Amino acid sequence: MPADPRNLKENRKALGRETVILKVGDDKDVIVVHKERLTDSSPFFAAAMKKDWNEGQTGEILLPDDSFQQAELYVNWLYSGFLFTQDATPPCEHDSTENKTLIAAYIFGEKIQDCNYKDAIIDALICAAGTKDVEGMRWYPTGMTVDFAFDKTPEASPLRRLLLDMYLRHGHKDWVSNKNVDFLTLLAQGLFEVKASSSGPDPTASTSNSCSYHQHAKDKDCHSRKMSSRAQTGPEGP
């Protein structure tokens, strides 16, 4: 019997009839997305599409400071619930391209204020770090990538906490080429705390509950639970 591609009618996600044109980067490359899908997920886009603003009247949003890759990654996630960042064979490379892409995606998520997107990226970073390459090595964000994350995120950012915990739990002296003073200060402070409680569980492990790094409300469904449900009932978007 073939895999059944059907799903229940009530699980269908309404797309609406209106679309929005995103013009991305200096070249104003175009991505077309359903307005309802975009504004339901992102308060930034919801505010931009109000009729009081030019964007709401024209149906076009300019994103001159963002890359087409990041905007496309986000729109793909909006429709599928997946982050298409993984190589078929994980490359053997220090501070992988996937880590850099995911951290840039998180910063884009900060801009557009989409907490579900940021939570999904947190989970992706944890899974990426837990995935071995062909030589059996795991790669964590290091050096310039971590500096970039700290330069672009607020003090209480869950991404900052995750990166700090990755260093504290798995770091090596060769990793510390960072120049961001905030990160180095927190790392030094954290080393004393980890030393005092070294027997505790590793919060950055892919087997751990990642909700401590998420931004969803405590009474709201976690992104990972939605993904688990989607795997059972079929895709319907984030």
Question: pLDDT of 15-37, one tens digit each?
Answer: 889 999 999 999 999 999 999 99
- Percent composition of the chain: helix, strand, coil (DSSP 3-state, to 5): 50, 5, 40
Higher pLDDT, 109 or 133: 109
Question: What are the residue boundaries of the structural domains of the chain, listed by start?
Answer: 68-233
Q: What is the DSSP letter of 187?
A: H
How far apart CA 122 and CA 159 sit, in angstroms, is 7
pTM check: above 0.95: no
How far apart CA 110 and CA 214 sit, in angstroms, is 13
Mean pLDDT, residues 189-206 taken together: 67
Average pLDDT value over all residues in the chain: 85
200: left (phi over 0), alpha (psi -120 to 50) or beta: beta
Is residue 66 scored above 60 in pLDDT? yes
Contact between 72 and 63 (Cβ < 8 Å): no
Burial pattern 22-47, b for ≥16 Cβ within 10 A else e, equals bbbbeeeeebebbbbbbbbbbebbbe
Mean pLDDT, residues 89-117 taken together: 88
pLDDT at 212: 77
